[in-house]
Amino acid sequence: MGIGRIIRDALSFGDLSRAERLGIALFLVAMAVFPFAVKSGFGRAVAVQFLLYATLGLSWNFIGGYGGQIDLGGAKNVGFGAYGVALPMLWWNAPFWVGLPIGVAAAVLESLVLGLALLRLRGHYFAIGTLAVALVWQELFTFWRWTNGARGVLLPLKPTPDFLYMQFGPVGFHYAALFLFVLSLCWLNWFRKSKLGYELRAIREDEDAAASLGIDVLAAKLKAYCISAAVAAAAGAFYAVYYGYIDPASVMHMDLSVMIAMTAMIGGAGVLWGPVVGAAVLIPLDRYLGAWLGGDALGIDFVIYALIIMLVAAYQPKGVWGIIESLAPARSAQRNEWRDA
């Protein structure tokens, strides 16, 4: 398979319906002009959060959505990416672009080694296994002295905007996040049309049947698991420079793992746009609900969340995207089947 073919697949959305292509174009244009249209600092911050979580949700989709392997340990990859940037910057004043590959490589390597073991587990066992692995990493990063332990890492601040260290104003961060998001989207777009993507969908439907068809199940899952780790780690690296401070509790916590999976799940797991829709629902809801309820109604925001999650899980497991699809009868059933197969 030539490079040209890969790039063409990654950039081509030709198999999607006209309405979807129009949606994509409108969405990307909206995101591109967002910093000029919206002057609100809070709105901009929410937009960056949205792009970040959408990227993380896309990363989950590789293994969780298309592969049907419920990964509840995504935060460890975010942590590797974030520490990969933060620690070299702290120790050697290494630029972001040196730290980024370190963090991504660490996440991929770890996923490769532990994935060999974890990916032999199925269903709930895999979910609990990934949860436990992520917890061990969090405990270790808290325990170790060389990671600064629980104290976390404060990134050195640059006096002027600096591309090498990825430090600039809110607008710069917006485009950096958008760039990362588009890159991940294209990667997933290639993935869903690739041989690997079809193999994983086959595994999701029936692992034993997939194996009997001659698919190397473990190898396929492992590849997707590593791609997923790489994307999440890149998002983690961005997180580190954006907030300027990381600690195990904020970048490796179970809540983050769950939030990543939830973004994809609420939007629609195993659908290209699922995580984007999920993040578009969850992140503004989260931020504005919190700002709106303020301190007066303790816990109510999470109760509302929980109700949404339970309703989606019980009545529309395909997520918000499933609702959108059911509202758009124009699309032929046959095409749908082809896409989801």
Partner 1 sequence: MSVFLEVSIQGVLMGLTYALLALGLTVIFGVMDMVNFAHGEFLMIGMYAAYLTAAHVFPDPLVGVPVAGLIGLVLGALSYRLLVRRLLQGPTIAQIFGTFGLMLFLRYGALAVFGPNLRSAPGGLVVGQRLVLGGLVLDGAKVTAAAGSALLFALIYWFLQRTRVGLGLRATAAHREAARYMGVDTDAMNSIGWAIGGATAGMAGALLVNFYYVSPTVGMVFAMITFTTVALGGFGSVPGAFVAGIIVGVVEAVTAQYFSPQLKLAVIYLVFFLVVLLRPHGLLGAR
Partner 2 sequence: MNRGRWAVLSLIVLAALAAVPAAAQPAVRIGVILPLSGPLAPTGQELRRGYELMVDIVNNVHPELAALGLEVAGWEGIPSLGGAKIELVFADSRGDPAIGADMARRLIMEENVVGLTGAYQSGVTQTVATVAERMGVPLVNSDSSSPTLTMLGYQWFWRVTPHDRIFDDDLFNLLDGLVAGQAPGVGPVPKESLSRLAIVAENTEFGVASGDDIRNRLAPERGYDVVDYIQYTSNSPDLTSETTRLVNSGADAYLFVSYVSDAILFMRTLKLLGASPTLIWGQDAGFTNPDFVDAIGPDLHGVLTRSLFISKIGQVKPIAAAINELYRERHGKDLSEESARETLGVQVWAHALQRAGSTDPAALKEALDNLYIPGEQLITPWEGVQFGAGRPGEMNQNIHATGMIGQYQYNPDTGEVQLEIVYPFDFATADMVHPFPGWN
CA nearest to 320, candidates 271, 258, 261: 271
Tokens describing residue 209: 């049947």
The verdict on 291 binding partner 2 (CB under 8 A) reads yes
Binding mask 205-244 for partner 2 (x = CB under 8 A): ----------------------------------x---xx
Please report how close the Cβ of residue 266 comes to partner 1 at its closest, in angstroms.
Answer: 8
Please report how close the Cβ of residue 66 comes to partner 1 at its closest, in angstroms.
Answer: 12
Residue where the block lists tokens 């777009």 = 189
The verdict on 293 binding partner 1 (CB under 8 A) reads no
Tokens describing residue 131: 């949860």
Helices (H), ranges, the chain: 3-11, 18-37, 41-60, 75-92, 96-118, 123-143, 170-193, 195-205, 207-212, 217-243, 248-251, 254-267, 274-293, 300-315, 319-327, 333-340
Residue 328 interacting partner from partner 1, partner 2, none (CB closer than 5 to 8 Å by kind): none
Q: Of the candidates 35, 57, 67, 68, which one interacts with partner 1 according to CB under 8 A?
A: 68
CA nearest to 68, candidates 127, 131, 115: 127
Please report how close the Cβ of residue 52 comes to partner 1 at its closest, in angstroms.
Answer: 21
The verdict on 71 binding partner 2 (CB under 8 A) reads no
* 2 versus 295: smaller Cβ distance to partner 2: 295
Q: Using CA of residue 173, residue 176, residue 182, residue 183, what is the dihedral sign?
A: negative
Q: Of the candidates 17, 112, 142, 198, which one interacts with partner 1 according to CB under 8 A?
A: 142
Q: Of the candidates 305, 323, 324, 339, which one interacts with partner 1 according to CB under 8 A?
A: 305
Q: How far apart are CA 247 and CA 255, in angstroms?
A: 14
CA nearest to 162, candidates 262, 93, 228: 93
Residue 154 interacting partner from partner 1, partner 2, none (CB closer than 5 to 8 Å by kind): partner 2
Beta carbons of 240 and 86 less than 8 angstroms apart: yes
CA nearest to 156, candidates 248, 249, 241: 241
* 24 versus 249: smaller Cβ distance to partner 2: 249
Q: Of the candidates 290, 307, 310, 331, which one interacts with partner 2 according to CB under 8 A?
A: 290
Residue 315 interacting partner from partner 2, partner 1, none (CB closer than 5 to 8 Å by kind): partner 1
The verdict on 163 binding partner 2 (CB under 8 A) reads no
Binding stretches for partner 2 (CB under 8 A): 39-42, 44-46, 49, 139, 142-143, 149-152, 154, 157, 169-170, 239, 243-245, 247, 249-250, 287, 290-291, 293-295, 297-299, 301
